[in-house]
Structure 1
Amino acid sequence: MKIYRKLTEDEVLQLKSQSCVADNWGDIEVSEGFDTKHVHHTRFSGLVKLGIFRSCFSLPGGIKKHAGLRHVTLHNVTVGDNCCIENIQNYIANYDIGDDAFIENVDIIVVDKVSKFGNGVEVAVLNETGGREVLINDKLSAHQAYVMALYRHRPELVNRMRQITDHYSNKHASDRGYIGNRVMILNTGSVKNVKVGDCCRIEGTCRLENGSINSNEMAPVHIGYGVICEDFIISSGSHVDDGTMLSRCFVGQACQLGHNYSASDSLFFSNCQGENGEACAIFAGPFTVTHHKSTLLIAGMFSFMNAGSGSNQSNHMYKLGPIHQGTMERGAKTTSDSYILWPAKVGAFSLVMGRHVNHSDTSNLPFSYLIEQGNTTYLVPGVNLRSVGTIRDAQKWPKRDKRKDANKLDCINYNLLSPYTIQKMFKGRSVLKDLKRVSGETSELYSYQSAKIKNSSLNGGIKYYEIAIHKFLGNSIIKRLEGLNFLNNEEIRQRLKPDTEIGLGEWVDVSGLIAPKSEIDKLLCDIECGRVNTLKEINARFEDMHRNYYTYEWTWAYNKIQEFYGFDTETITAADVMRIVEVWKESVIGLDRMVYDDARKEFSLSSMTGFGADGTQDERKLDFEQVRGDFESNPFVTAVLKHIDEKTALGNELINRIGKLA
């Protein structure tokens, strides 16, 4: 703990000669090694503690500034070692400032009451009129927020979570603010009731009020020009810049908001990007991306989502107010000028094109296209499984995780195929077969959830879902038997037996975390009855589920293998496994070939339109190749071909390894 002393008479005289004044010089304490020569035109009131001023700051353009105080008023402030604070138009009051801070040209920095610094602020997410409020806090994960917003059918659970959050908020309430080590605050307006973490840079910001900026050395936060934030929490590694306006918002780790983006009553979790457009009452799960000025996201739940320009939703039917909400499950995206009238639910990894006003629920038909023709929603089930865009998205998300903080708040599962999506494909396959049975195999159109499905689309959907099911179950069994040699069929049976019973039944996507519903329910019961009492414990339980995902996944897959292929666990043999692997090989290669063919369309003659200005067709082709490269050498295309070879070899290796037992 740092030791302070009172000023000497000589030091007081020296400070007075440098135009410093104090209400009471006896209320000022300084560190050993304090030197008065770097304190000029400073006014002190209340209890003030000062560190030493020995170092220099090197600024862009070659300017150097020595640590010290110049043209500043301090009231009840502790200043750490080697800080440079100058040109504060009003004053700094009731703050503890860390070491090596650089604060220059700021209007006012003040805590004017006991503040919770954004903790406990109610965000009216999804329903603008209230009823799904999430209490934001420093440790808020997407999964915590999901439960608090959506599990309103368990009022005792929601009440307990509010109590836990209130306890945390009250514990961290204070009448003093904090500015961390190596913070820079430059050319900024008002900073009121704001806590600022280490290594944060605040530059040209208009106004910050009632919030926490949870920056740290591993993952600094940047708040830029023209930004206005009220009632907010901004997590580590995030950038909020260029005129962004936030009101009652939580910004998760490594988010980027800029270019005049505006949001109110919204939650943005890890790696979200928002530019130019507008958000109101949205739950933006991990990797929700919107870049366009004409895009409004309102009253919706999203994750792994990309909003096309002009995407819009309505939560107001001019009856009882803006009470409606909608969900686009993970990976769903919208094309330019799309529109959805809430309430509606869009299945995982689906694509929405056109205007949709019929309140469809396609959650059991993932990987689909929703296309509008003549005010009618047409559904094309499963077709997105063969899309090169879907595969590319799945590959890019892990690479675009910008979180540098060792303490990651959100548990993100990137798997395209998982028990969550495959269970929906089982349901979707059953739905499509029932439609076919009830309406007849020769029907041209089938009706489902206020949408129309063409005959060819229905048959295609069944085919795509079966291919994906074969692929997932085959992947699972190959992974389970990987790298092991077996002497007989009994050893194979023993290895195939799951390590736990956890994983059977339904799985859920809790905004990025894919887990068995049974485990989520156990956690929620533990919260309700008081066995789990802190935000830290809640997050630790989510992390434990995430860590054990593959163990639980195998339990689910093993059960589905028996059901889907009709095998008895007591009699399954190497020959049975080999049959599964052969079907798996056909499915993987077949799907990759579809993706390969879809990618080829990007290199067709029609895609070359606009290339080769003023030239012949050969020149157009040459110009295209110079800009886009040639098809066979495209990195994604070569990766698909390599994937085919690798998966073929993987399947053959297992067949050869256990073939002698067949």
Structure 2
Amino acid sequence: MNQIKKHPVENLGYNFIPSEFLPEGKDEFYIRFQQNPATDYRQLTRQETAILKSNGNRSDNWSQVLVREGIDILLIEECTFFGLVRIGRLEPYFLEFSQLRTPVGLYRSLIVSCDIGNNVAINNVRLLSHYIIEDEAILINVNEMSCTSHSKFGNGIVKDGEPEDLRIWLEICNENAGRKVIPFDGMLPGDAWLWSKYRASEPLQDAFKAFTDRQFGTYRGTYGTVGKRTVIKNTHIIKDVKIGSDAYIKGANKLKNLTINSNENAKSQIGEGCEMVNGIMGAGSRAFYGVKAVRFILAPFSQLKYGARLINSYLGENATISCCEVLNTLLFPAHEQHHNNSFLCASLVMGQSNIAAGATIGSNHNSRAADGELQAGRGFWPGLCVSLKHNSKFASFTMIAKGDYPAELNIPMPFCLVSNDVHNDRLLVMPGYWFQYNMYAILRNERKFADRDKRREKAQLLEYDFLAPDTVNEMFVALQLLCRFTGQAFYQKHALIGGSREHEQKGKELLESNAPVLKQLEIQARGFENSGRPVHLIKVQEGYLLYKKMIAYYGTRLLIGYLQKNSDKSIRSLALLFAGAGSRSNWLNAGGQLIPEENINTLIRDIENGRLERGWQQVHAFYEQQALLYPDQKLQHGLAALMETGNFRPDMASLPLLRELLLNAIDTKQWMAQSVYASKAKDYENPFRKMVYDSTGEMEAVVGKLKDNPFINEQLKEAEAFESNIQELIGALKE
């Protein structure tokens, strides 16, 4: 049966912190007084007490109801007070927010041991217990709003006297909890990635746990808070929740064990029908229309909406999930998933991604244990009704065509299209697909992601450029594989014997010369699919040349940026610049921020050796330092990539070579702009797109005129300006 305990009513509102957990010399209010150190409260006068009683108010001890000078006692009606209640200045105003108007004051509410700020409106709150309500907050029609002495506000910590098994973990990336992390307020996607990735190091794992426990403490007695100008209305249950300023909560069903960060520049919202438990919302994040979220983190300016279910997952900055279900997943910034019948589980998706309708990306397809995973680089884009098996891994900007993929996939080539050729029972991979057929989308998305980044405090530097150290390194891997597979196809066709080195050498020779024999080769990949069926590479020659073109453009564009900022444009200084670039380094995507792998390894060693005494604060300082270093590091990487793909050394730098590089960059930029136009023009020329319109006028009225497309015109103008600027640079180069 239910254990109902009886206590004297005069004890209601007191003994918030059990005596066994009170530090010596402290009372139950010591944390509360730290949260609200104001001392300008006084006791009620006899007349004020009489007025309160005449207005239907009750208290077990009126001496424990304190007020500030300037309070209008008439603005308190039909309220019941227990414990120490401190009330700020109440004046005869009404507060207005989003067409909601309500008078300042306390009306028809049960208030237990709370601090209430100046000119607050509290109306029909059936239970308000152990909260600090700041100035001009509005609380209307709330069934229960309470806070316990062991509240954690979504942080994965345990309080004094609690067993370890009460700790909340975030079981990201894998359903078997093998990559679980402890959620905490301020956790960045880079933190979650580091913690979940490097599992083999016990000292590292122990250090991360210690960082978190030390940052938040184990003491009991923290009150819930409602920040200034926050509005809460028509909500059922709010328990153990910390709410920042300027938040808006309306019609929520249940909010429990949460931190809702919000401020005047980044207002967070929770809307109708939401149920959110054990989580943290970053500033500017939003959840509305029936969202269900349990054990979660929403990074700043992320959104959940339209019945989305988010469980044991981290959603990065500037991301949106709606209508669908996401479980046990770590999502880097700028993720989009907004279709009711898409499912994502046990995955690491590294940002700028889009999960289409019908996508079923879940683990436990081929094992009796829930231990499968999927890992995808930036720009992951599975199409309609894609079903994938775990484990699978995809390079950056992989597009997957509609289909039920029967086996695990490992696709190391970026910017490719993967197709399931059911009729011929084979897998098709087109390297460089995005550059050939979808330049409009890749350039527009890059601009879109940057424009949507509304963060005021950019704790991590997010890379939105599709040409960056991570994708360029993947293109080098793809070039090597294309050479190898092409050579293997040639050797097989001619019954020759050779190893990988001979295959790569022959393949490179054929691809560099665009040999006619390439059209006769059936080029197959190895290790892309866990099955016995063939994996065919299509348009290999085109993909190979496009990878090389884009790598050269990446490096040259960075060189152009350097030349535009520096007055010394002599060949001697440029040769020294190339010499200083060194060899091409490996990079990692740490929560959307690209960082050289050797620097990540140094950070890990420092953590393991106990050198980070300030814990997460120093980890976040590391991100900030890496952000400052990134432009120079990226330049060095770009120059190294340029030398590698161009097959030249620093001492080979010359005026003709530099002019050739710059002129090639002009050609590439113009080709990209024309490709953007051509990609969009297909929508206007395809007869199956045009057939729903009776006339060109009707089509243009619905979708707009191609010549008026602002993004296309912007790209064409950029190409013109780019050519003009480069011609000036060429003229400024000196021997």
| TM-score scaled by length of structure 1 | 0.93
2:138 pairs, out of 97, 102, 108, with 102
In 2, the alpha carbon distance for the partners of 1:250 and 1:485 equals: 47
Which residues of 2 match residues 486-525 of structure 1 at below 5 A?
A: 486=568, 488-494=570-576, 496=578, 498=580, 505-525=585-605
Encode CA deviations 1:422-448: one digit per residue, 9 max, x unaligned.
111111101100111122154324133
1:458 maps to 540
Letter in 1 for 2:150: V
Letter in 2 for 1:366: P
The answer on 1:427 being equivalent to 2:481 is no
1:366 pairs, out of 414, 418, 423, with 414
**How far is the alpha carbon of 1:483 from its aligned partner?**
5.0
2:716 maps to 641
CA contact (8 A) 1:480 1:496 kept: no
Larger strand share, 1 or 2? 1
1:584 maps to 665
In 2, the alpha carbon distance for the partners of 1:169 and 1:55 equals: 40
In 1, the alpha carbon distance for the partners of 2:716 and 2:569 equals: 34
**How far is the alpha carbon of 1:319 from its aligned partner?**
3.3
**Aligned in 2, Cα 1:373/1:203: closer, same or farther, shift over 3 Å?**
same
Encode CA deviations 1:101-122: one digit per residue, 9 max, x unaligned.
1111100111123111111131
**How far is the alpha carbon of 1:2 from its aligned partner?**
4.0
The runs of 5 or more residues in structure 2 that have no matched partner are 1-37, 157-167, 491-517
1:654 maps to 729
The answer on 1:215 being equivalent to 2:262 is yes
In 2, the alpha carbon distance for the partners of 1:411 and 1:23 equals: 55
CA contact (8 A) 2:226 2:245 kept: yes
The runs of 5 or more residues in structure 1 that have no matched partner are none
1:310 pairs, out of 338, 352, 358, with 358
SS at match of 1:53: coil
Moved more, 342-351 or 621-630: 621-630
The answer on 1:203 being equivalent to 2:250 is yes
CA contact (8 A) 1:123 1:134 kept: yes
CA contact (8 A) 2:430 2:537 kept: no
Moved more, 519-528 or 481-490: 481-490
CA contact (8 A) 1:116 1:174 kept: no
**How far is the alpha carbon of 1:571 from its aligned partner?**
4.8
**Aligned in 2, Cα 1:483/1:116: closer, same or farther, shift over 3 Å?**
closer
Encode CA deviations 1:308-335: one digit per residue, 9 max, x unaligned.
1111113013633221010121111121
The answer on 1:176 being equivalent to 2:223 is yes
In 2, the alpha carbon distance for the partners of 1:458 and 1:190 equals: 59
CA contact (8 A) 2:259 2:279 kept: yes
Moved more, 636-645 or 381-390: 636-645
CA contact (8 A) 1:23 1:45 kept: yes
Moved more, 567-576 or 30-39: 567-576
In 2, the alpha carbon distance for the partners of 1:349 and 1:29 equals: 61
Which residues of 2 match residues 385-404 of structure 1 at below 5 A?
A: 385-386=435-436, 387=438, 388-403=440-455
Moved more, 441-450 or 197-206: 441-450
1:114 maps to 150
In 1, the alpha carbon distance for the partners of 2:587 and 2:416 equals: 20
Which residues of 2 match residues 273-352 of structure 1 at below 5 A?
A: 273-302=320-349, 303-317=351-365, 319-352=367-400
CA contact (8 A) 1:122 1:135 kept: yes
SS at match of 2:318: coil
**Aligned in 2, Cα 1:348/1:455: closer, same or farther, shift over 3 Å?**
closer
1:467 maps to 549
CA contact (8 A) 1:139 1:409 kept: no
Encode CA deviations 1:19-68: one digit per residue, 9 max, x unaligned.
11111111121112223111111111111111111152344797743211
Letter in 2 for 1:6: Q
In 2, the alpha carbon distance for the partners of 1:55 and 1:548 equals: 56
1:88 maps to 125
**Aligned in 2, Cα 1:423/1:178: closer, same or farther, shift over 3 Å?**
same
1:20 maps to 57
The answer on 1:355 being equivalent to 2:404 is yes
Letter in 2 for 1:207: K
Letter in 1 for 2:125: I
In 1, the alpha carbon distance for the partners of 2:593 and 2:606 equals: 19
Encode CA deviations 1:302-357: one digit per residue, 9 max, x unaligned.
21111111111130136332210101211111211111111101111111112223
**How far is the alpha carbon of 1:173 from its aligned partner?**
5.8
CA contact (8 A) 1:56 1:64 kept: no
**How far is the alpha carbon of 1:169 from its aligned partner?**
2.9
Letter in 1 for 2:706: F
CA contact (8 A) 1:263 1:280 kept: yes
CA contact (8 A) 2:489 2:522 kept: no
1:384 maps to 434
Encode CA deviations 1:197-245: one digit per residue, 9 max, x unaligned.
1111111010011111011111111111000011011110011000000
Letter in 2 for 1:466: K
| TM-score scaled by length of structure 2 | 0.84
**How far is the alpha carbon of 1:486 from its aligned partner?**
4.5
